């Protein structure tokens, strides 16, 4: 849900650069040249912000190259604007560097602008074809309507009775049955509304009326119980063309949740609304700006999803003229919300249709099914969309006896509580009880992660493998089963892409509806606190729960411990005993974090996950706790600043897997003399992703002879790999993906006799492959898409007798023609152009 359109990111970056450039003084002529170069990019990136509507965006690598150049130019322009007028030498230095930045951006435009023009032509052609097709369909509908017998119009009374349906007299000049408007955008809107169902369509029209009427600032709301479709309706409002047009495309969507960092959310929203970066004291938005509103006056709509308290809402409402806030919550806030639309549960027939889509992949009950039994089971879901989808999916393909058993369990759950939501949890629990033992346990593990946050697929699969003794294929099969039963959602088409034998799970993630998370917590919390298999903080708190402190003298038997806090100091912790804990998940949001002292006593800990949800990387304290984790097998660090590596340390002799995501690494690696092979003697899997300050890997990494997989992705400053990489004789997978500064592979790569998969895709500055590439006799697959500067292949490539699959661009495919003649089973696949901009999202 936390998604920002490309236009909002790139467009705001370009606008900010232009503002900074206009503020320069002594080097104004140089700044003006830079402005003239950058200004044409504004409409370019704005037009490319609509890639999800079909506009073919350019590749991530090309856009990444532009993003780096714009970032550097923005930094130079800001420094030039802030330079003292008397410091002529400083201004001259900055002017020369801005000239270089100007030349770099101009070269990018010269290379890629023609392709963008062709993209625009192709988009216009596709839009024209689509509009002609819609108009043809409409003409057919109009012809059919004119041939049909006329329907008498009924004039609506001034005060119609509630619940009475009636036709409205058509406006003068409009024939009954004819479309009111033949403009294509209107038809698209109608088709969308029909697609989302009648109930959502009615609610959508009412909410649109609320947000598009009235002046000044106002807060309106959508209210309903969990799983009733509130977020679905809010997303329909967010995507609606009329709403976007009314607010001049200034509609912003943000998920709040119980554990929200309100300051971060408010700053993020303000930067989007004002198209400006917050530069106030202590990173606060100046109060006068909040009162006056943005410089660009005009209506603004802010949609706040999953709001849990009045205090949250009051902190996030902007009260400048023209700002409308749509709050989506399970609760009403009458003191601040002026108008509220309450979600209606689905009617019998509409509920049955939703249920049948989940259970049978069709709109109605199949002829071969017991219609009465199907209707009885659907009725027990009480018209709640989420329950209909989950319970329907759980019964897909099951025999009649299982259906009858489900109906009986659902009906018995009715008298458990007077709370509709508690009843819902009990009903949905029946569908979980149908799962096999390990699948059920894996579902319950999902409750250990924060609400409304993406769960890294790599973390999830790894935890399942460690605590449920699963092989990787079996863990992925369970993931697929839970997805097919609507018990989780795979992001970025993870089911199809991550299922590839050579894929890297860190590219993908999982989300779960908050009601399903509540269900997992509800089912996991039936035992007493110290006896629970999963000890979880359900939401972020500033300190550990009081009931944990009251029970700290008794050992906790939890296998998984999940903690979610803000900044933690040494004094914020108290000692606890976890003799059976195998997984520790530490979620926090701060720039400093003291590791819990009880880590040192967790002798059975196998997986440690640290995820920082703050705005900046976090420095860790109490690192000595790591030295006691002799059984630790997996370590995941996200948005952490690694300290300089010491010369010697106690080895983590069982650590197999290290994942570093969005971490700051360079200070820790620069000049390091630590013998990594002694510290990590059994390390087999190393992943480094989005560590943008990584320039090089320490040479001693080549001494870790146990390494089997290395994956380095989105590290834009990485220029080369260690010269002696060929010493890693066990290496079977080498991924160097989207590293635009990488210009060559070391020749020693050709000594990796066990290498089966090589990925150099989106390394746009890679000019050639090592001449002795043909020595990789076990190489089975190469991914080299979007390597635009690669002009030839080594002559030895025809010796790759095990090579069965090459993925590349159309131009590169021509280079493989000769090899195809001599390698018997080689398949060269021209990759579809990838326009995924998820890398731009925070």
Q: How far apart are CA 760 and CA 812, in angstroms?
A: 13
Q: pLDDT value at position 53? A: 41
- Extended beta strands in 540-655, E state: 560-565, 583-588, 592-594, 607-612, 618-621, 634-638, 640-641
Per-residue pLDDT band for 657 (boundaries 50, 70, 90) equals very high
Q: pLDDT value at position 183? A: 35
Q: Sign of dihedral through CA atoms 301, 307, 313, 316? A: negative
Q: Which domains does the chain have, with CATH numbers?
A: 1-49+59-133 (no CATH), 207-342 (3.40.50.300), 685-841 (3.80.10.10)
Angle at 765 between CA 61 and CA 667, to 5 degrees: 80
781-804 confidence digits (pLDDT tens): 999 998 888 888 998 998 999 999
- 169 or 409: which carries more pLDDT confidence? 409
Choice among 220-234, 269-283, 780-794 with the minimum mean pLDDT? 269-283
60 three-state secondary structure: helix
Q: How far apart are CA 77 and CA 470, in angstroms?
A: 54
Burial of 504 (C-beta count, 10 Å sphere; 0-12/13-18/19+): buried
Q: Are strands 509-511 and 489-491 parallel, antiparallel or unpaired?
A: antiparallel
Residue that is written with structure tokens 């949890």 in the block = 425
Choice among 41-55, 577-591, 653-667, 737-751 with the minimum mean pLDDT? 41-55
Token couple for 798 = 């025809």
148-170 confidence digits (pLDDT tens): 444 333 333 333 333 333 233 33
- 423 or 337: which carries more pLDDT confidence? 337
417-462 confidence digits (pLDDT tens): 344 556 666 667 766 877 888 999 999 999 999 988 889 999 999 9
Q: Are strands 509-511 and 455-456 parallel, antiparallel or unpaired?
A: antiparallel
Choice among 60-69, 213-222, 727-736, 771-780 with the minimum mean pLDDT? 60-69
565-607 confidence digits (pLDDT tens): 999 999 999 999 999 999 999 999 999 999 999 998 899 999 9
For residue 174, is pLDDT > 70?
no
pTM above threshold 0.75: no
- 390 or 69: which carries more pLDDT confidence? 390
For residue 734, is pLDDT > 90?
yes
Across the chain, what does the average pLDDT equal?
A: 76
Q: How far apart are CA 837 and CA 59, in angstroms?
A: 9
Mean pLDDT of 201-230: 84
Query: H or E segment at 661?
Result: strand 657-661
Q: How far apart are CA 630 and CA 642, in angstroms?
A: 20
What's the distance, CA 730 to chain centroid? Answer: 33
Query: Which of 88-97, 583-592, 812-821 holds the top average pLDDT?
Result: 583-592
- 692 or 575: which carries more pLDDT confidence? 575
The upper half-sphere exposure of residue 752, i.e. CA atoms within 13 Å in the direction of its Cβ, equals: 31
20-58 confidence digits (pLDDT tens): 555 454 455 556 556 556 655 555 554 444 444 444 344
Burial 290-320 (b: 16+ CB within 10 A, else e): eeebbeeeebbbbbbbbbbeeebbeebbbeb
109-140 confidence digits (pLDDT tens): 665 555 444 444 445 445 555 555 555 555 45
Q: How far apart are CA 492 and CA 474, in angstroms?
A: 21
Q: How far apart are CA 399 and CA 379, in angstroms?
A: 19
- 469 or 140: which carries more pLDDT confidence? 469
Share of residues in the chain with pLDDT > 70 (%): 67
Alpha helices (H) along 166-304: 184-195, 198-211, 230-239, 241-246, 262-274, 287-292
Cβ contacts of residue 715 below 8 Å, gap of 6+?
688, 689, 690, 691, 692, 694, 739
């Amino acid at each position: 849900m936390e998604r920002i359109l490309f236009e909002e990111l790139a467009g705001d970056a370009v606008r900010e650069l232009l503002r900074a450039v206009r503020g320069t003084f002594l080097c104004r002529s140089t700044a003006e040249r830079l402005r003239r170069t950058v200004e044409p990019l504004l409409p370019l990136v704005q037009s490319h912000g609509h890639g999800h509507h079909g506009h073919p965006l350019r590749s991530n690598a090309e856009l990444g190259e532009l993003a780096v150049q714009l970032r550097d130019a923005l930094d130079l322009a800001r420094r030039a604007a802030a330079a003292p007028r008397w410091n002529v030498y400083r201004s001259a230095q900055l002017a020369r560097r801005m000239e270089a930045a100007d030349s770099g951006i101009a070269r990018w435009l010269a290379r890629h602008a023609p392709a963008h023009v062709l993209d625009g032509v192709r988009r216009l052609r596709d839009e024209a074809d689509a509009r002609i097709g819609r108009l043809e369909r409409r003409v057919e509908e109009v012809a059919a309507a004119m041939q049909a017998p006329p329907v008498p119009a009924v004039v609506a009374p001034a005060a119609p009775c509630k619940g009475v349906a009636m036709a409205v007299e058509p406006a003068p000049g409009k024939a009954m049955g004819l479309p009111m408007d033949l403009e294509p955008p209107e038809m698209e809107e109608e088709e969308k509304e029909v697609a989302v169902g009648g109930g959502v369509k009615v609610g959508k029209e009412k909410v649109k009326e609320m947000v598009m009427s009235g002046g000044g600032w106002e807060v309106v709301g959508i209210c309903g119980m969990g799983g009733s479709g509130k977020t679905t309706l809010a997303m329909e409002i967010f995507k609606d063309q009329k709403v976007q047009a009314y607010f001049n495309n200034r509609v912003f969507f943000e998920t709040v949740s119980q554990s929200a960092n309100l300051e971060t959310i408010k700053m993020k929203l303000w930067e989007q609304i004002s198209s400006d970066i917050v530069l106030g004291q202590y990173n606060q938005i100046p109060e006068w700006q909040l009162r006056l509103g943005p410089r660009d006056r005009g209506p603004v709509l802010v949609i706040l999803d999953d709001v849990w308290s009045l205090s949250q809402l009051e902190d996030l409402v902007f009260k400048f003229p023209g700002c409308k806030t749509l709050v989506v919550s399970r609760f009403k806030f009458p003191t601040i919300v002026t108008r509220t639309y309450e979600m209606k549960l689905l009617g019998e027939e509409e509920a049955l249709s939703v249920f049948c889509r989940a259970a049978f992949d069709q709109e109605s009950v199949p002829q071969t099914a017991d219609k009465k039994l199907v209707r009885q089971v659907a009725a027990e879901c009480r018209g709640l969309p989420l329950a209909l989808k989950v319970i329907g999916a759980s019964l897909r393909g099951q025999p009649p006896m299982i259906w009858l058993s489900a109906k009986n369990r659902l009906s018995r759950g009715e008298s458990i509580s007077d709370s509709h939501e508690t009843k819902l949890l009990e009903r949905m629990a029946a569908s979980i009880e149908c799962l096999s033992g390990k699948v059920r346990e894996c579902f319950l593990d999902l409750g250990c992660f924060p609400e409304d946050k993406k769960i890294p697929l790599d973390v999830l699969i790894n935890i399942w493998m460690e605590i449920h003794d699963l092989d990787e294929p079996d863990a992925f099969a369970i993931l697929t089963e839970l997805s097919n039963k609507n018990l989780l959602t795979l992001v970025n088409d993870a089911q199809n892409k991550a299922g590839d034998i050579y894929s890297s799970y860190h590219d993908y993630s999982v989300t779960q509806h908050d009601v399903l998370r509540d269900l997992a917590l509800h089912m996991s919390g039936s035992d007493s606190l110290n006896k629970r298999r999963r000890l979880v903080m359900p939401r972020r708190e500033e300190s550990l729960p009081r009931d944990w402190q009251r029970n700290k003298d008794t050992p906790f038997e939890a296998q998984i411990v999940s903690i979610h806090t803000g900044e933690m100091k040494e004094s914020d912790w108290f000692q606890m005993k976890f003799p059976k804990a195998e997984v520790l998940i530490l979620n926090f949001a701060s720039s400093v974090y003291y590791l819990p002292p009880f880590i040192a006593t967790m002798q059975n800990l196998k997986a440690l996950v640290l995820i920082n949800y703050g705005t900046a990387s976090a420095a860790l304290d109490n690192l000595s706790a790591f030295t006691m984790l002799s059984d630790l097998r997996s370590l995941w660090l996200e948005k952490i600043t690694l300290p300089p590596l010491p010369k010697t340390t106690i080895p983590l002799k069982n650590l197999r897997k290290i994942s570093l995501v969005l971490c700051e690494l360079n200070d820790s690696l620069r000049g390091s003399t630590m013998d990594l092979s002694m510290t990590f003697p059994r390390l087999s899997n190393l992943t480094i992703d989005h560590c943008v300050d990584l320039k090089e890997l320490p040479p001693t990494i080549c001494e870790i002879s146990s390494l089997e997989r290395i994956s380095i992705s989105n590290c834009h400053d990485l220029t080369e790999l260690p010269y002696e990489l060929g010493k890693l004789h066990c290496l079977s997978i080498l991924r160097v993906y989207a590293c635009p500064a990488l210009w060559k592979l070391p020749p020693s790569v050709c000594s990796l006799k066990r290498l089966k998969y090589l990925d150099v895709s989106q390394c746009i500055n890679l000019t050639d492959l090592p001449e002795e590439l043909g020595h990789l006799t076990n190489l089975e697959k190469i991914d080299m898409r979007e390597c635009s500067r690669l002009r030839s292949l080594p002559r030895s490539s025809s010796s790759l007798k095990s090579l069965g699959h090459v993925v590349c661009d159309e131009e590169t495919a021509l280079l493989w023609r000769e090899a195809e003649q001599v390698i018997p089973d080689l398949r060269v696949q021209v990759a579809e152009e990838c326009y995924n901009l998820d890398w731009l999202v925070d």
